[in-house]
Amino acid sequence: MNLRKAISGIGIAAMLALAGCVSGGPELTQEIFTSEYGSVKDGGYKIPAVPISRVPKQYHRQIVTYYTPEKPGTIIVNTRKRFLYYVLPGNKAVRYGIGVGRAGFEWEGEAYVSWKQPWPRWHPPKEMIEREPRLKKYANGGQAPGLKNPLGARALYLFDKDGNDTLYRLHGSPEWNSIGTAASSGCIRLMNQDVIDLYNRVKPGRSARVVVIQ
């Protein structure tokens, strides 16, 4: 390849990236929200502060450059990198750190946010109850909302293109130290302060697409 062709190829790639026609590219941080993990009063509960200095900085909520063909309002989950992106206009996205449970790693594809719930009740799946008999007490009514509830302060419920519940959730978690890790159970978890921020941005419906990649 001669120099002219090489430069031309680089130029085309740059143009495509600027036009948002390809995914990837450098994720340069434009704004970081490290100071927003203090104690929060919400829905009658007092969410404890996260000792955010103990969470790797890459998992702090931040606005980054992000090239993607997906429309603003789309949620992109990268289970391998442990990031969730909420796509913004102008090749930007809000990036959140996530923890990915066993169920989350089994999932790849598309869905949409059908509905969302503040301080949700948790209903453990039958398979989980079989693995952990101590959860049998939640088999019928589920676990009441609260600071110890595994779904945390918010849950976003994902349905497939045919309108069926996928049983996958984007949810909060009181276990801030699980962010950036492969947790033992659950789907896609965020720190409670982050899931509240995401919840406030998302308007449920078919346009609230969720794309999961590995």
- Residue 17: which residues within 8 A CB-CB, separation 6 or more? 25, 67
Pairing of strands 209-213, 75-78: parallel
* Active-site residue set: 171, 187
* SS3 of 20-70: CCCCECCCCEEEECHHHCCCEEECCEEECCCCHHHCCHHHCCEEEECECCC
Q: Is 93 helix (H, G, I), strand (E, B) or coil?
A: strand
**Cβ burial 20-51 (10 Å sphere, 16+ → b, else e):** beebebebeeeeebeeebeebeeeeeebeebe
